[in-house]
Structures are given as C-alpha cells and as structure tokens.
Structure 1
Amino acid sequence: MTLQGEELAALFARLMRVASQEPLDTRVLLATCAESGRRVYGARGAIVQYAPLSCPDISTEGTGSALRTLAADAVAWKEGPGCDARSSGAALIDVDVTTRPARVRWPSWAPRALALGFGRVTALPLKSTDDLAFGALVLLGPPEATMDEKALASARCLAETAAHALALQRQAFESRVLAAQLQTALSSRVVIEQAKGMLAVRQGLTLDDAFGCLRRHARTHRRKVTDLAREVTEGRDDIPPR
C-alpha cells in the first residue's frame, strides 16, 4: 500500500470513528470531512455542505475561517459549486474559476473565491443509498493546480465515505430520538395506568370509567392527561367524583 493509500485508509477510518463517537456531533464530522479532503488531495482548501433529506437547514464547514464564511455565504447566495452539486446530484470536475463562464454562473461566489486565491474547484455530491444528494464536498486549489485522474478517483472515494459516515450518524441520532420518544410514551402510559387504578379504588369505578373521569377533568381544566395523572399518583391532585 502506498503512503497515500495508507493515509486514505487512516482518514476513512477516522471519518467512521467520528460519526459514531459520543456525543454525536455533526459539526465535528463535517470539519473532519473538509480537512480530510484538504490533506489527502493537496487542495488548498475544502468546504462541505450538508442538508439531511428530512431537514430544510443546510449546515456548512470549511478549512479555515475564510472558507467557513464563504461556505455560509454561498448557501445564502444560493450559488457556487457546492450548491450546484448538491441540488443537481452531478459532480463538477476541475472547473477553472478564472473563466468568464464561471464568473457568470457564480457572480457572487467566483469573485470571492478568486480573492482568496482559489482558481480551480471540484465539487462532488454526497449521496444517500437511493442516489439522492444531501450535500457536497468542494475541493479548492490555485489556478495552476489541475486535478489528475488518480486524485479524482480518491476524491470520489472520500465523498462516498463521507456520505456514508453522515448517513450513519443521522441514523444513530434518529434512533436515539425514537428511543427517547418511546421511553416517554411508555413512562406516560405507566403513570396513567397507576392514576386509573387509584381513582378506580378511591371512587369505586371501573378502570375504563376512571380513565374517562381523568380525561374529562384534564380537558375541562386544559391540562395534559399525563401531567394530571402524575399529580394524582403523587397525591397533589384529587379529582372529585362524578
């Protein structure tokens, strides 16, 4: 394995490790993606855009404060190679930013990139397993730094790995949210059942009638049934008989 291959393997492993480390932190993962692109391909800088398919917000990260600002501004402008790759799902390969077509295509982005010393850009979409783009990896270099086929192949591999890592982290986050929701629902159900039993014994009701009493009292007083049930079990609310 070549030195570049060893570094690639190490960075890919780091991406997957960051995706699952505690606590889950998308910002750290995006920064790792951007820095991986810069280090492995000798790019002068890199930017990542990330917009989960279920979320309208677009997160950005870049190598260095100037690129972080450019990444955020590009989203506000709704232009730039990252926005194009993310919205179209198609890669932009080794685009010369100094040309008139690039400046016309990106009237706000291109002058800023040139002012920062970037003259060439490659933008690769980050795609889900069903081929939907939810982000982009943007690699930037000086005007004379063209990207060869070997570097492009490595860049595509990194983009695929970054997309997989982001998807895994998103799945882990959603699983935890679902688990928390299920735990809350279970806890609420237990409290309600306890309150039903206490009311049934106290007022000589069936469990169904006790629940009806609990629900009517909550509705009349504009309370949540769970909150009222908890107060009943703690002896802080005494619902009068029907």
Structure 2
Amino acid sequence: MKTREDRLLHTVAALADSLVADFDVVDLLQLLVDECTALFDAAAAGILLLSPTGELEVIVSTSERSEFVELMQLRVGEGPCVEAVATGRVVSVADLDHVSDRWPAFAGDARRSGFASLHAIPMRLRASTIGSLNLFRDRTGELNHADAVAARTFADIATISILQQRLVEESTIAQEQLQRALNSRVIIEQAKGYLAQSRGLDMDTAFQQIRSHARSTQTRLAEVAAEIVAGRLVL
C-alpha cells in the first residue's frame, strides 16, 4: 500500500506530466478531484471552469451531490465557489450555518446535500483566474493547513497545464491561419500572372480584375484565383 506521501508525490507527478505531454483536460481534472477526496479531509470535490464565452460551468465532480451544489451556485449566481473565481482568493466556509445571511440559497442547497463546510480554491495564474477547485466536507471546521497547501499546489499545477494547452491550441490555430494566408497568396499570384500573360495586362490591373470579381460575387479572393488558374473562370 502506498503511503499518503507517496500518493501525494504520485499525483503531483501525474499533474506535472501534463506540462510536457499531450493530455485530455477533463481526464486531468477528474484525476485531480478524485485524488483530492482520497488524500484530503474532503467528502467530495468538483471544479468550475470559465468557458470561452465567460460562463462558469461544472467540468468534473466526484459525486452527484457536489455537482448539484455547484450547479445551484451557478443558477443563483452566489456562493463560495463563485466568489473564489470572481475575487481570485481562497474562500473557506468552516460552518455553512454561518453563511445563511450571506448566501441563503447556497447555504440551503448545501445543507440539504449533507455538507457542513467548504473550501474553494481559485485556479489562478497571475491575473488570470480560470475556475475553482472546490472541496466539500461533511463536518464543520476549517480544512487543515497541510491539506489546504497541498490542494492549492494541485490547483496551481492544473491551472498552468490548462493555460499552456490553450496557448498551444491558439498557437496552432495561428499557424494554420498563417499557412492558409500564404497558400492563398501563392494562388492569387498565379492567377495574376495567368491573367497578365493571357490578356496582355500588367500585374496591378490583373489583380484589380480579380478583386473586382471577388467583390461583385462576394467570393473570397483565393477562391476566385483558384478558379482562374484551373481554367474554370474567364474574366
């Protein structure tokens, strides 16, 4: 049997692997919440992430009841998990009975689900907060310091992994867009040369004719050029 320390190190290593290898974000985050409930004083765990449109969504959860509480927070727009994302700060609730005035809808939903306390950790890197790691507890009291530090470390590594993945995807998209632009430019130059030679035009006039046709037909320049080069369009 692995000791708790062995499992902590194994989890850190598994999360760190995502920094250098291709990975599935949902699988990574599911591993994170599963290990949090196995290692820490938490009955359940879940993660909220900001979508590309800026909406918070439940991404993974270890139980239906924790997912329900997170969804209810999103529905009413209140609760520690929502506040952790909004402020970028850890929000710890030692006793849900003490926040009924502050978050009445959340407190009621959480108590009905059997939870007594909650620890919400923002998934944040510098100025970017992308979500929150939420630890639900069946008894009152603060999450102990060692667990809180370790959970924050897990959240930080996962945050870096997700942001890195987004940068890679954005870079890939940018490279694809650049390559398409270069390919388009090549075919347009070919069409200009073809028109200039076949019609006795200079290159500027040939291009003006291609552009004029593209505008009048609301067709992309590269598509018009490709039709000219293929001999399917005569201007």
Q: Which category of TM-score, normalised to the shorter sequence, fits these structures?
A: 0.7 to 0.9
**What TM-score, normalized by structure 1, do the two folds share?**
0.85
Give runs of aligned pairs for residues 19-58 of structure 1, distance below 5 A.
22=22, 25-51=24-50, 55-58=53-56
Unaligned 5+ segments in structure 2 are none
TM-score, normalised via structure 2 length: 0.88
Q: Distance in 1 between matches of 2:21 and 2:53?
A: 22
Q: What is the Cα deviation at residue 40 of structure 1? A: 2.2
- Find the aligned partners of 1:65 and 1:198 in 2 and give their Cα distance: 65
Separation of aligned partners in 1, 2:50 and 2:8: 25
Pair 1:166-2:169 in alignment:
no
Q: CA deviation at 1:164?
A: 1.3
Match of 1:218 in 2: 214
Kindly, what percent of the aligned residue pairs are identical? Answer: 27
Question: What's the counterpart of residue 76 of structure 1?
Answer: 75
Decide which of 57, 60, 84 is 2:58's aligned counterpart.
60
Given that residues 94 and 147 in structure 1 are in contact (C-alpha distance below 8 angstroms), is that contact kept between their aligned partners in structure 2? no
Alpha-carbon shift at residue 86 of structure 1 (Å): 0.7
CA distance in 2, matches of 1:165, 1:11: 14
Distance change >3 Å, CA 179–CA 71, structure 1 → 2: farther
Which residue, out of 117, 120, 133, partners 2:114?
117
Q: Describe the shift of the 1:233–1:83 C-alpha distance in structure 2 as closer, same or farther (beyond 3 A).
A: same
Structure 1 partner of 2:15? 15
1:235 correspondence with 2:235: no
Match of 1:107 in 2: 104
Following superposition, the deviation at residue 96 of structure 1 comes to 1.2
The whole-number CA distance in structure 1 between the counterparts of 2:35 and 2:208 is 60
Count of aligned pairs: 233
Deviates more, 1:224-233 or 1:119-128: 224-233
Aligned AA (1:103): S
**Structure 2 Cα separation of the partners of residues 70 and 195 of structure 1:** 61
- Measure the CA separation in 2 of the matches of 1:119 and 1:234: 71
**What value does the CA root-mean-square deviation take over the aligned residues?**
2.3
